[in-house]
Structure formats: C-alpha cells, structure tokens
Amino acid sequence: MANILNLLQFILIFAGRSKYSITFAMSDFEHHPDDISSLGEFGLIDHLTRGIDILNKSTLVGIGDDAAVLDYGKSRIVVTSDLLAEGIHFNLVYTPLKHLGYKAAIVNFSDIYAMNGHPRQLLVSMAISGKFTISMMEAVYSGLRLACSQYGVDLVGGDTTSSLTGLIISCTAIGEANDKDLTYRKGAGIHDLICVSGDLGGAYMGLQLLERERTLFEKDKKLQPVLEGYDYVLERQLKPEACREVTALLRRSGIKPTAMIDISDGLSSELMHICKASARGCRIWADKIPIHSETRRVAEEFNIDPLIAALNGGEDYELLFTVPVGIFEQVKNLAGISVIGHMTDAAEGVKMVISGGTEVILQAQGWNPL
C-alpha cells in the first residue's frame, strides 16, 4: 500500500503537482482582515488551542492554568513555560542583563508556586542577535544561575539559536507537587475569601519610572537617570521574587487554598481567570488592596491612581488565592497576607466596592460604573 502511495505521489509530483498546496507570498500580511489584536492574548490562546485533545493518561491538566500537571508516579509533575522578548518585555537601555536572567527564571518559578508546587528543573532557550557579546550572555547566565541557586532549581538544558534582531529568552520550569497539595484556578467556593500576598502595583510604577528616564536619555544621551529614592519600585520591576515563602507559610498553617493564581498581568485580569475557571463572581474592596507607600508616592508623582497600578499593572508575581470563609480569623493574622474580598455567585459578576460604598464592574483594563 505504501509503495502504491509513494508511486502515486511521485506521479503527481512528476506531473508538476504536489500533495502540498502552498501559495508563495511576500511577508506582506498587513492586508489580512483577521488581525491578531482583535482577539487579544487570551482570546488568541483560546482560539489556537480549542479542541486540542489530551491523548496520554499521564497528562492530568493541559492548557488553561498556570502550569500543566503530569502524572508520572507518586508525585505530580508541574510544567510551565514563559518567554521574554526584547522590546516587548524588556528594554536593554535600563534592564541589567543579570537582572534579566534572574527575572526570566523567576516568572516561571512563580507559575509553579501558583500551583502549590516546588520548582526543581529549568530549561533555557535563547535566540541571540549579533549585537550580543560573550560577556553579555555571561551576565544573563549569572542571573539565571543565581535564581536557580536561590530557589534550589537545577538548570538542565535548553536550546540556542540566532535571531535577526533582539534577544528572546524562553524558560520552561518543571516542578513537583503532591496530588493533594495542587491548587488550580478552578475550585473557589461561593463565599470563599479572596486573599493576596505582599503588595501590588510596585512593579508597574518601577516600569513607569524607568520609561520616563529612558525617554529623557533618548532625547539627550548625556542625561543619566535619577533613581535615588525609588529603590522599592525599581526592585519590584527589575528583580521580582517568586512566592516560595507564601506557599510555605500556608502549608505550615495547615491552609490549602481552594483556588490560586500568580499575579503576572494585574489583579483584575487574575481575578477574572479565577472567577471564570471556578464559575463564580466576586466582590473586592478597593481600600483592602495592599499598596506599598512608595508605590503610592510614585503613582501620585506620575498622576496615576495607585489603584489602577495595582489592578492593571502586572508583573508583581504575588499570589492571589481563595480560602474557605470559616478560617477568616486565622488567615487575616498571617503576615504578608491581605483579605480583599469574597467570591459570589457567577451572576453577580466581578465587582469592586470603591469609596462611599459604590460598586463598579472590574474589567481586564480598568473598570466600568454599574
């Protein structure tokens, strides 16, 4: 049969036809009506991955959470991947290469902690353009190595290739978790409390500051940035940490979140993920959202509402999680944890109570009055 098919294929090709139907085109896609931006990041992922079947019993959870969960024996394996692209996620005018390497690893560890797992291995793939030198790449690696040693992770492989412009770093982290410890985006109960670790909006204000100084520098190359007094927000942007201590604290306290996600895209967006995956609504209180005093100060300097920075800023890599309402007394006394609201029925939507008790509907970017 195979031979007959081969022969048939040969005859087709010989006859000047191919089994492939390819239309050559210049890289001129601007006339296409199906612009990716019409879907947005999450819409695009949904669109491209709809109907992908799970074929292997070992794949417990595929696309849709902070990480995939695999079953290869006693403990569960948790896998996640994140990519940082020059000019999109970082600007080398102000991002020290060591910090870039550190952050590339941390953003992956963060997704593993969000599943209540422990990162164990890291793979690093890079596309490097001609402007990068050996010592520059050594600096990136010193950051990757530091993150791995701080979090007890082994760097076990990756891939390297060249790129036409800019640097792209894609990391894949592999973690481990007990089946009973795993936390998903789904699972939030109807009256569960909504909690966040640390404080929010700092990384965004750090970025605003760096961008302001970059703009000044680009106008006048003699100008060096003025960064004194901004240590907290700069550190939040340039050297984020993953929430290892938070999940350890919860475990020591005997608390298993009913749902959990890391805050990489801003509180609003992550709340929506938890609500959607858990088929719930939620109500949070604006004045309960933890914001650092320096974040507030810098936001005021930039004429930005600190609440907007916390809701939409992203890159804080804190954890957003839900717990049963019955443990309010216990959870409200945990250091570094804020209770900001509670889950509701799906029909209630995703709401926030602002000053004067007014309720607004949260959107991925900002909010709308009711």
Binding site for ligand ADP (CB under 6 A): 45, 49, 63-66, 82, 111, 264
Alpha-carbon gap, residue 105 to 82, rounded angstroms: 9
| Closest alpha carbon to 169 in 249, 70, 92 | 92
- Nearer of residues 262 and 318 to Mg ion, judged by Cβ: 262
Closest distance between Mg ion and the C-beta of residue 173, in Å?
11
Asked whether the beta carbons of 169 and 126 are under 8 A apart, the reply is yes
Nearest distance in Å: CB 332, ligand ADP: 27
CB of 50 to ligand ADP, least distance (A): 11
Phi-psi region of 43 (alpha: psi -120 to 50; beta: other; left: phi over 0): alpha
Angle at the Cα of 122 (from 121 to 126), degrees rounded to 5? 165
Instruction: In angstroms, give the least distance from the CB of 270 to Mg ion.
Output: 8
Nearer to ligand ADP among residue 49 and residue 293 (C-beta): 49
Smaller CB separation from ligand ADP, 78 or 139? 78
Cβ closer to Mg ion: 64 or 158?
A: 64
Q: Which does 96 bind (CB under 5 to 8 A by kind): Mg ion, ligand ADP, none?
A: none
d(CA 257, CA 115): 10
> Helix, strand or coil for residue 77?
strand
Binding-site member from 65, 86, 241, 262 for Mg ion (CB under 5 A): 262
**Minimum separation from the CB atom of position 98 to ligand ADP (A):** 23
- Shortest Cβ 101–ligand ADP spacing (Å): 18
Q: Which does 65 bind (CB under 5 to 8 A by kind): Mg ion, ligand ADP, none?
A: ligand ADP
Q: In what order do the strands lie in the sheet with 118-128?
A: 59-61, 68-71, 76-85, 168-177, 118-128, 154-162
Binding partner of 294, given ligand ADP, Mg ion, none, CB within 5-8 angstroms per partner class: none
290 binds, among Mg ion, ligand ADP, none (CB under 5 to 8 A by kind): none
Site for Mg ion in 31-70 (CB under 5 A): 66
DSSP-derived letter for residue 245 is: H
Say which residues have a Cβ less than 8 Å from residue 117's Cβ, sequence separation at least 6. Answer: 67, 76, 78, 175, 176, 177, 181, 182
Applying CB under 5 A, the span of 101-109, 173-181, 261-269, 352-360 interacting with Mg ion comes to: 261-269
Yes or no: say if 61 and 100 are a contact pair by the CB < 8 Å rule.
Answer: no
Strands 76-85 and 68-71: antiparallel
> Cβ closer to ligand ADP: 208 or 264?
264
Cβ-proximal residue to Mg ion, closest one: 66
DSSP 179: G
Half-sphere CA count of 254, side-chain side, radius 13 A: 2
* Minimum CB distance to ligand ADP smaller for 50 or for 252: 50
Q: How far is the CB of 145 from ligand ADP (least distance, A)?
A: 22
Q: Is 46 or 138 the residue whose CB approaches ligand ADP more closely?
A: 46
> From the list ligand ADP, Mg ion, none, which binds 64 (C-beta under 5 to 8 Å, kind-based)?
ligand ADP
Beta carbon nearer to ligand ADP, 61 or 194: 61
Closest approach, Cβ 111 to ligand ADP, in A, equals 5
297 pairs with which residues across the strands? Answer: none
Number of H helices and E strands in the chain, helices first, is: 11, 14
Pairing of strands 359-362, 154-162: unpaired
Interface residue with Mg ion among 65, 82, 86, 111 (CB under 5 A) is 111
List residues binding Mg ion (CB under 5 A). 66, 111, 262
